[in-house]
Structure 1
């Protein structure tokens, strides 16, 4: 058994070495879909304790890969086809021995390198089922789920992140993912709390702590710009049985001038309710219509089974009514009505 794993590991390492250079350009800031290959690549190539993970503001996939990027390109006799062959060998081996957690984990990481996040998700699911108390494995699983869903950290991904942190509250990758998920929701206070927890992880690599501090400072600066309001959104008990955890929830601010064009919009899922979200000027939909341009607003929340922004019959709604933006601390919105 050990000899088999040594052979497979050697094949994967060799094939990985020749495909590293094309992937080291790094993701575009704010683009959630770019992290599949990068995340799997870094996880496969270096020990988890050495990774600088998910640290760029607004992009949960932005891995700090300066050391890898600065390494000289190496010629290698193996090709990507060698890795495909190694992965096929590994997959076949697991069909004969499906209770090998280490094997499923290696297969999942290999699929991530090959930009096959759907296959990686299934392999990680098998690995987690066999090794349910491994927080790092769960964090990797969350990454794969997000990669297979265009970088979306809500829903199932969020649940896996939470389960990883329930096992190990100091799991670095899970904390970084949670911070990025909060930032994507414009929950700046929540993102800062997760980054602060990450900074306090024992034996954290200095570069990770430095990036976390930079993220905190930039997030605070962003949150301080313009007007903002915190909204506590909940769903009535009567409507809970009529929704699915994956249904989309839109939370948006409207000006007290009759216009239905939102001043700011936040998006989350039913599985996250109840939740407190932040609406601010950075979410303005059109020039000249920001929260800070109006003193009186209303906050609406709507559950959309279709995920579409346009209201439809059967959607579930709630509204705060008119509130003064200046005096608002936390605005309560309870979703308790159905659109006819």
Structure 2
């Protein structure tokens, strides 16, 4: 797509506006009194410079749009007050094209209401001063057409820009979705491989023995089941050190539960290693009957919460009522040091 530099558009608009000033200066001998026309020229020059001054914001400020509208109303009154409506005034009616140009610039800078009010006031003043036929002979219709074209182009460009932003956002969301799907697929394959590595030897032994296992082998199967559950529910909470300490805890008869709900996915590797080292240390030092490690919610200053419970009585941990348990360990591992 071919694009026109913004500075080139500003230069062309400035030259076109300057042309009206030149016409106004060369026709100062036609009005009865040239000074009102001089004032109109100064007002037009100031309004044009302010409107074309390069700024980052495309939309014209409201105060500048109001000033341009006031200038577009004042110029015809100043100039025509010194002209004869029935005579051929030549280039002395330069204000018509000047108002059209100024209002076109105003419309291009997204102040459409002010632009239409400006050309509407020009049309009304022209009809009052010289009659309806003057709308065509003085070029008022052309000024209205310029503003209409600027209006259509402004709306079209704004719509195109809005659609471009929408498509760009959709593209980013699609890319993020695809990346998430690829990550889930990769993680699923990795978890499957990890599960297969852990469970395959025991499954082969179970098949070889026809399902008849000793108590020690049943206990080992339960340990493997818990390890596989950790791989599924623990996700980012697992490192080799954490796995080892969880295994040691379970060998002591501790019921360990790891729950990763996505609260530490945004941590960098160094921070995550620090957090999980604290988790492994807490599991190793705890003498609780049950340990629960859970990631905190996103945005929380806490990364992982670790709770250790001591179950009273002689009941097994698996069947004991945890409502009567006492807290042996309560640890909140922060995200940042």
- The answer to whether TM tops 0.5 is no
More helix by share: 2
Task: Give the number of the structure whose alpha-carbon radius of gyration is greater.
Answer: 2
Higher relative contact order structure (alpha carbons within 8 Å, sequence separation ≥ 6) = 1
Query: Normalising by the residue count of structure 1, what TM-score does the alignment of the two structures yield?
Result: 0.26
Query: Normalising by the residue count of structure 2, what TM-score does the alignment of the two structures yield?
Result: 0.26
